[in-house]
Amino acid sequence: MNNIISVTIKDIGLFVNTDELTTFMESAKTSLIALREGRGRGNEFTGWLRLPDKTVSETEGIRKCAARLRSQAPVTVVVGIGGSYLGAKALTEALRDPFGKQEHTLVFAGHTLSEDYHAALLRFLDSTLYNIVVISKSGTTTEPAIAFRILRDHLHNKVGERGMKSHIVAITDARRGALHSLAVSEGYETFVIPDDVGGRYSVLTPVGMLPLALAGYDIDAFAEGMRDMALSVREGNDTASNIAIAYAAARNTLYQNGYTTEILISYEPALVFLAEWWKQLYGESEGKESKGIFPSSVSFTTDLHSMGQYIQQGERKLFETVIHVEEPHHRLVVPGASDDSDGIGFIAGKTLSEVNHKAEAGTRIAHTEGGVPVITVSLQRIDEYNLGQLMYFFELACAVSGYVLGVNPFDQPGVESYKKNMFALLGKPGFEAERERLEGELKAQG
């Protein structure tokens, strides 16, 4: 087995009582066992736990489909929102060369209702041939449904009725939902999101894997990372070595002590969307029943020049989870300069990573001294294998953490409220009374 991600929680010792942490460790251990044995809340959605042992059989079909789509168009639009969007976005943003020409261009739609965004997307698509991969487990989510309608019309004008079938792939439920019915009637190639895997835990299904393969990344290495993490946390059921238990226990202990906001921090801009994926995972899983840590994120050192001030001296209810990346892929040395007018001659000859790591170490000490507890998650480098490990670790720790908190980490009942109101205000049949009430409220608000 390769290097396994590690988690350091010792730095929170200054802020919480050791006995309390031990109690939460025990609770996290019990929660992990309940999760594995299918005895916790929402246990019908724990299929993702076993995905690392199953994925191999599916990768061949994903690879073939990706090769076919890549051979017939230079661009694919991936349509989806929430768990049907963020995993693929996080992975492809983490792995891509920010300035290089992509082998196959992935663009995203259906994650916003912005007219301008979609108009700009259509302008871009006007001049290129493309495929659509539409992802929705329920098959009824409004944002991707709207985007898919618009894109279908646009694509039809380009490839005609006969071309549609080969240019569209659907990833959805095996039996139910509008997207499933449409895919069957139109004969689109389809992939299944298993019944027992919820959206935000679905990155190791075709939801994450097909876009990853399309963008030209190594899906086997990603699956192997997930598998190695699953094995590692399976072996380490005891509190000391199981990083999922350690992380879940540490954050719940901090929450109990008034640290209600967690900031995920990375010093690599490639991980900005990984943080978006993490926020959805933890926010949707834990924020319910008037409880839950508020997940937020910053990108350092960039945001040390914006949010750094608040974190250092603002209200003391924050804690940090820092993703430490050990090795860069490239080596770049700060050059010497004869005049040293910028005063950084003492850094000349050091690599940027040495400087970045010192910034990280210095910030950790400053923030700890400023009253902000820090948890550290360390990985070797940013690649498919390590991202597989990291994502499985965060998923497992999230489920355990939700159980420790006493909520169902697999539902999202609160998401329905905005939809109900939006449908009523848009005049959906059956919502007439609600529409009247909401319009009255809007009038009263001026």
**Residue 199 touches ligand PA5, criterion: CB under 6 A:** yes
Q: How far is the CB of 282 from ligand PA5 (least distance, A)?
A: 11
Please pick, from the candidates 75, 81, 209, 377, the single residue that binds ligand PA5 as defined by CB under 6 A: 81
Q: How far is the CB of 79 from ligand PA5 (least distance, A)?
A: 10
**Three-state secondary structure readout of the chain:** CCCCCEEECHHHHHCCCHHHHHHHHHHHHHHHHHHHCCCCCCHHHCHHHHHHHHCHHHHHHHHHHHHHHHHHCCEEEEECCHHHCHHHHHHHHHHCCCCCCCCCEEEEECCCCCHHHHHHHHHHHHCCCEEEEEEECCCCCHHHHHHHHHHHHHHHHHHHHHHHHHHEEEEECCCCCHHHHHHHHHCCEEEECCCCCCHHHCCCCHHHHHHHHHCCCCHHHHHHHHHHHHHHHHHCCCCCCCHHHHHHHHHHHHHHCCCCEEEEEECCHHHHHHHHHHHHHHHHHHCECCECCEEEEEECCHHHHCCHHHHHHCCCCEEEEEEEECCCCCCCECCCCCCCCCCCHHHCCCEHHHHHHHHHHHHHHHHHHCCCCEEEEEECCCCHHHHHHHHHHHHHHHHHHHHHHCCCCCCCHHHHHHHHHHHHHCCCCCCHHHHHHHHHHHHHCC
**Residue 137 touches ligand PA5, criterion: CB under 6 A:** yes
Please pick, from the candidates 198, 206, 371, 402, the single residue that binds ligand PA5 as defined by CB under 6 A: 198
User: Considering 64, 165, 419, 420, which one is annotated as catalytic?
Assistant: 419
324 is catalytic: no
Nearer to ligand PA5, 9 or 170 (CB): 170
Q: How far is the CB of 135 from ligand PA5 (least distance, A)?
A: 6
330 is catalytic: no
**Residue 89 touches ligand PA5, criterion: CB under 6 A:** no
Please pick, from the candidates 200, 227, 251, 324, the single residue that binds ligand PA5 as defined by CB under 6 A: 200
- How many chain residues bind ligand PA5 (CB under 6 A)? 14
**Residue 84 touches ligand PA5, criterion: CB under 6 A:** yes
118 is catalytic: no
Q: How far is the CB of 388 from ligand PA5 (least distance, A)?
A: 19
Nearer to ligand PA5, 68 or 175 (CB): 175
**Residue 286 touches ligand PA5, criterion: CB under 6 A:** no
- Which stretches of the chain bind ligand PA5, using CB under 6 A? 81-84, 136-138, 141, 144, 198-200, 284, 412
Catalytically annotated residues:
284, 305, 419
